[in-house]
Structure 1
Amino acid sequence: MAGSTGVVIAALIANGAIAVLKFGGFVLTGSPSMLSETYHSISDTGNQVFLLVGIKYSDQKADRTHPFGYGKAQFFYSFLVSVLLFGIAGWESLKHGYDAVVHGGHGTVPPVAFAGMEFPAWYVNVVVLLGAIGFETYAFKKASDELNRQIREYEWNGLRDAFRKTSDVTTLTAYTEDAIALGGAIIALVGITLTQLTGNHIFDAMGAVIIGILLMGFAVALAWENKRLILGESLHKEDEADLRRIVRDHPGVVEIDAFSTVFVGPQDVLVTMDVSFDPELVTGDLETDITEIEEKLKAEDDRVNYVFIEPEL
């Protein structure tokens, strides 16, 4: 959880600062790509706030109404982020870029005076976007380091496997946002530069369109990843097989009659099972065996926090 919080805070600081700078660049130059990037960074900043709220809410202790805690709050807030990313940043960027393609660019912008010298106004956008790329690279590295740590810990086969198996949707969301933000800043920089070099507004306008499509596409993918956890996904079959093996190999276990797992929060798994034990076991031995099985399961996978075993004799 601490890793996820650090990732989100890094992204929040980076996106907040970048949003202000990008808006200043848009005001000075009227660039469609800069307006798209402003929408993008404002949306990202708000999204980090939602993720922090989700982390805080999920930290509440279990109670009568939520006996397995509030961990699923992070799934809800991450899903909300994907909707906002699609609806605000993606749609507005696409709409503004399309308008710029159809109706033309932003026209000639007077130079900017600084320290007694005049510079082309579009230089401001270049400086802002280069700064944004630097900030986003830092935030992306933080998210990437945390995701790679989980890949090593759970022995996943790279990023694609991590996206399918991780329950830490906060880190997943931050990683996705930071990757898109970095890509968007590069696209905007290329579009603005090509427009200035060629005098054709279409490059800047198309930059905004591409950024909008990119945002909307990733938002849909992120929503899909959150849906699986909101609906109550189990551990991946390989991880579940490892837990089954531990139970099956425990002395006194005859057969596993039923076995289920479900994520009740990020990195928080509930395991339930019906187990047939050796009928010759006495009650005291049975209680000891159940306790030992619980301890073995939790030692095997640190995501297992709740274990319920129904003994059958």
Structure 2
Amino acid sequence: MSANGGTRAIVAALLANVGIAVTKFVAFLLTGSSSMLAESIHSVADSGNQGLLLLGGKRAKRAATPEHPFGYGRERYIYAFIVSIVLFSLGGLFALYEAYHKWSDPHGISSWQWVPVTVLVAAIGMESFSFRTAIKESNHIRGNQSWVRFIRRAKAPELPVVLLEDFGALVGLVFALFGVGMTLMTGNGEWDAVGTGMIGVLLVVIAIVLAIETKSLLLGEGAEASDLAAIERAVTDGPEVERIIHMKTLYLGPEELMVAAKIGVPPCENAHELARGINAVEARIRAAVPIARVIYLEPDVYSVAADRAGSGAAADTAVPQPQDVSGEAAGQSGS
């Protein structure tokens, strides 16, 4: 759902931004407005960014190799991080430079005065369509989360990136309309420079937010609290496991979660019985959290004394002591 929805949102944004970029650039050539030039570069950068997101999604589908045994799912995070860099440098810094240049040599819009306003109003309409598509696709997976939490916690980077880009584009168009409108009313080109500077600051802020969020995904994030609780319940719901000694989770990609846990098991008569129990636990985990596709379970015998000493388990312990499952182990070292 999230991958298909992300692709639809990206394609809608790409089509809108290509059309908008062309009309804005024509308007700049006719009027010489710095706000129109900044918005043209902004739309070109956004179009390139959507191309990068599509490329990242395609490359992430490659099969695992001996060199990359967990596959390429996290490559989507890399391309999302590149998007933030492009938006910061090509979009934000260029707009700030153009604002400084226009402020140093201000001039009004003396010809084709109706063109920039018409283009900006049309662009707001096209960008609103793209933004609406991103909102609609995000609502399929957002649930009852706030928009801020969704952007901060979403594991698939495409929808948050498109949402922020489209939001920034709409606000930037309003800023450009302000700068152009004030320039037309007053004949003072400094207003055009002010609108351009506002666009630059906006793009830099959005780029920084994107960089922070995608950096966290690149470093590696664990399962959400709700998924973590579901995994813990799945592990301990049957007689095969007495408790979780410690557990770690890691997203290998937006739709693939790795679960690694050391579990305290009761005494077994033979290895076949132990293997059947572990297989049953893995099946319950996958049923509870379908994206948990890579699971490693290490069976051990839990020991209170070893737990207090910091290891949590000891193979030569006589009788395991049952305790409440909290999902957090007192000892975090593995054997």
Q: Same fold (TM over 0.5)?
A: yes
1:131 equivalent to 2:131? Answer no
Deviation, structure 1 residue 108: 4.3
Tell me how far apart the structure 1 counterparts of residues 113 and 295 of structure 2 sit (CA, whole Å). Answer: 60
Aligned to 1:42: 44
Of 140, 155, 175, the match for 1:149? 140
Of 143, 166, 182, the match for 1:194? 182
Deviation, structure 1 residue 84: 0.6
Whichever residue aligns with residue 228 of structure 1, its letter is: S
Tell me how far apart the structure 1 counterparts of residues 300 and 82 of structure 2 sit (CA, whole Å). Answer: 43
Moved more, 285-294 or 302-311: 285-294
**Residues 107-129 of structure 1: per-residue CA shift (max 9 Å, x gap):** 3423xxxxxxxxxx121112211
**Residues 188-222 of structure 1: per-residue CA shift (max 9 Å, x gap):** 11221122123232322111000000000110110
Of 283, 288, 301, the match for 1:300? 288
- What is the SS of the residue equivalent to 2:299? strand
Aligned to 2:57: 55
- What is the SS of the residue equivalent to 1:59? coil
Of 86, 92, 95, the match for 1:93? 95
1:82 equivalent to 2:84? Answer yes
Tell me how far apart the structure 2 counterparts of residues 23 and 15 of structure 1 sit (CA, whole Å). Answer: 12
Tell me how far apart the structure 1 counterparts of residues 109 and 174 of structure 2 sit (CA, whole Å). Answer: 23
Tell me how far apart the structure 1 counterparts of residues 15 and 139 of structure 2 sit (CA, whole Å). Answer: 22
User: Among the aligned pairs, what percent are the same residue?
Assistant: 36
**Residues 21-73 of structure 1: per-residue CA shift (max 9 Å, x gap):** 10000000111110110110010111111111101100111121111110111
Whichever residue aligns with residue 99 of structure 1, its letter is: H
User: Normalized against structure 2, the TM-score is what?
Assistant: 0.85
- Point out the structure with the larger helix share: 1
Moved more, 56-65 or 21-30: 56-65
Whichever residue aligns with residue 43 of structure 1, its letter is: A
Aligned to 2:316: none
Tell me how far apart the structure 1 counterparts of residues 109 and 37 of structure 2 sit (CA, whole Å). Answer: 17
Q: Which has the higher contact order (CA 8 A, sep 6+)?
A: 1
Alpha-carbon distance change, 192 to 102 in structure 1, aligned in 2, over 3 angstroms = same
Tell me how far apart the structure 2 counterparts of residues 144 and 221 of structure 1 sit (CA, whole Å). Answer: 19
Alpha-carbon distance change, 224 to 21 in structure 1, aligned in 2, over 3 angstroms = same
Of 231, 248, 253, the match for 1:260? 248
Whichever residue aligns with residue 81 of structure 2, its letter is: F
1:158 equivalent to 2:159? Answer no
Deviation, structure 1 residue 302: 3.1
Moved more, 281-290 or 220-229: 281-290
Give the aligned CA root-mean-square deviation in angstroms: 1.6
Aligned to 1:215: 203
Whichever residue aligns with residue 137 of structure 1, its letter is: S
**Residues 66-117 of structure 1: per-residue CA shift (max 9 Å, x gap):** 1111011110011001001001110000110122123213x3423xxxxxxx
Are the equivalent residues in 2 in contact too, given 1:15–1:45 (CA < 8 A)? yes
Unaligned ranges ≥5, structure 1? 111-120
- What is the SS of the residue equivalent to 2:63? coil
Whichever residue aligns with residue 136 of structure 1, its letter is: E
- What is the SS of the residue equivalent to 1:275? strand
Size of the aligned set, in residue pairs, is 299
Of 7, 10, 19, the match for 1:8? 10
Are the equivalent residues in 2 in contact too, given 1:252–1:281 (CA < 8 A)? no
**Residues 220-257 of structure 1: per-residue CA shift (max 9 Å, x gap):** 11001000111111123343233223212332211211
